[in-house]
Amino acid sequence: MTKRNLKAEDLYQLKSVADPRLSSNGRDLVYVQTHISEEKDEYVSNLFYINVEDKNTPQQWTYGEHRNHSPRWSPAQDELAFVSNRSGKNQIFVMKASGGEAKQVTTCTNGASNPVWSPDGKKIAFNVSLAEDEAIETKDKKEEKKLVPLEVDKMKYKSDASGFWDGKYSQIAIVDLETGETNLITEGKVDYHLQGWSPDGKHLAVSADLSENLDFSFVSDVFLLELETKKLEKITTGSGYFGSVTWSPNGRYIGLIGHEREFENATLSKVWVYDTVQKELNCLTAESDLLIGDFAIGDFQQGAVTPGILWTEDNESFYFLASDHGNTAVYYGSLKGEMYPALLESQHVYGLTTGGALNRAVVAISKPTDPGELYLLDVPTGKLEALTSVNKSYKDEVKLADVEEIEFKAKDGWDLHGWMMKPANFEEGKKYPLILEIHGGPHAMYANTYFQEFQMLAAEGYAVLFINPRGSHGYGQKFVDAVRGDYGGRDYADLMEAVDYALETFDFIDENRLGVTGGSYGGFMTNWIVGHTNRFKAAVTQRSISNWISFYGVSDIGYYFNAWQIKSELEDVETMWKHSPLAYVGNVETPLLILHSEKDYRCPIEQAEQLFIALKHRKKETKFVRFPESNHELSRSGKPSLRIARLNYILNWFKEYIK
């Protein structure tokens, strides 16, 4: 059968499988499957079950056009807690593994999230958002919200994820499943994030920042909250960012992932273990350049969860995910200091669960030609067995382009790594246009994973070049830190030298038909590129930064991000302006499409407005597209129809200006 070419609208056909949870019996697996309802223009998530030993056909456990997610097995493995918005707000439900209707166990005023079972299976702890003196539960009818002024007295008053701060704090509550009684465990003007419940049932692990002036504090400490006394015991250093807390089965050890901000937000996350007997916190990867966690960039997966340290039944061994050289891998570790990959291939492992087993795991894997499926991993042999095939019919129908990894040296001797994606219908002897893609962050990582945007461009006859310039994750601490204070310097040179390398290496690239695009930091770099070279025939800048001076005051992270990344404060506007693409707008000759979301508080839309007006004022070729009711995450989790519109805007701009 002849396969057809991919198009942007194919997002409606794809399914995402994520957040696998294997029970401690090593047999029962539940996961979240998400698709897009084209009719409702919304995401729909439901829970599915597989017996990994029988490898039976997946069974659907929840139904309806809602978001059902965050499944968590009870200690006895006979019940499942999960979060659903079927009642209008996110609430926690419990269902029997043997079947039957799910029972709603929370009726919280502002919804509930993050369910954690008590060791005896009789209670569930969870997070809830509450204003001071606001009741955790309400039976009142919903009142129509009135427009009121927003009073602001702190700098951290908005967030790209949640919008303007509404006076609510994240608190922790516990619901008794037998009586239905719900009790608030924390209170005050502090955000508490639930991490776990100790095996003896006496403590909750929570993370919080208890600093007096939160506007100037950037830490997340882990505490043990004694349930009987409500006393908090801090187990981390007070100088860094820690989370992803897990307990060893015997309760003696607590695993954490975090760092002490030695390089601010460019610091590599590491594996830490706290000994509750010795009262000692130790970093097990202090001497390693390995980055703990999944930092791969993609534009498809929904609801992917990076687990913390997954302890095994021997109380000394554990598994975790790490980002390494364009891949995410499963690593084995132990209290003795052993650390080595248990699964390291050219792929993106975006989900991991073991159920506490030493030799078995379930992994979620994506590759450039595979949106993602679940696999059973036999750890001793490394053998993978497919458990799902949710995108098989799509892959059978659509021609997808594979990638070729490239490695080369920058002119200053640094090693650089990336990929070349040939056009999907590549023919030997034919010349093709090339699109350079630049990721955001900048502390993130392009990887061997599926990218709808890249596949769409390849389907339309474009080659796609993407690399990890210095500043990217996955290549060690020195590499990721190198961009700080040097935006538009060697990072820009890395990208231009990558284009040079591609032109020298691949004879099918037409050097006269080059395009460039990127989002966030990649948008900044796209703006920088068109102000410093005319080698590209067309450019698309997305959710970009154009002016660091105004970014300082309008971004939800601006006033400290500038100091961390540009290494400049407001008193030094000359440095901010020197690194601002807006300063070079008079040099721009490349037709530039500007894409931006109205409710982007990370890189606010005024960054795009300034750039557009400056270009139009100078009679440059440009167009400005504003996406309504969308934030910085439009390309990954935004309104489906707007995600598709965005893809088509990118494609059509390149088709118009790259002939």
Q: How many beta carbons lie within 10 A of that of residue 130, not counting itself? A: 20
Q: How far apart are CA 107 and CA 175, in angstroms?
A: 10
- CB of 555 within 8 A of CB of 543? no
The pairing of strands 193-197 and 203-208 is antiparallel
- CB of 412 within 8 A of CB of 475? no
Q: How far apart are CA 267 and CA 261, in angstroms?
A: 6
Q: How far apart are CA 488 and CA 476, in angstroms?
A: 21
Q: How far apart are CA 363 and CA 184, in angstroms?
A: 35
Q: Between the CA of residue 125 and those of 82, 96, 210, 610, what are the distances in Å?
A: 12, 18, 21, 47
For the annotated catalytic residues, the residue numbers are: 520, 632
* DSSP3 helix / strand / coil % (the chain, rounded to 5): 20, 35, 45
Alpha-carbon torsion, ordered 389, 395, 401, 403, to 10 deg: 10
- Report the interhelical angle of 452-459 vs 640-657 (nearest 10°): 40
Supply 618's token pair.
């100078």
Supply 476's token pair.
């060690």
Q: How far apart are CA 234 and CA 220, in angstroms?
A: 11
Q: How far apart are CA 453 and CA 304, in angstroms?
A: 19
- In terms of residues, how long is the chain? 659
The order of strands in the sheet holding 221-226 is: 193-197, 203-208, 221-226, 232-234
- CB of 161 within 8 A of CB of 631? yes
3-state secondary structure 288-341: CCCEECCCECCCCCCCCCCCCCEECCCCCEEEEEEEECCEEEEEEEECCCCEEE
Q: Which DSSP helix (H) or strand (E) runs through 161?
A: none
Supply 35's token pair.
């698709």
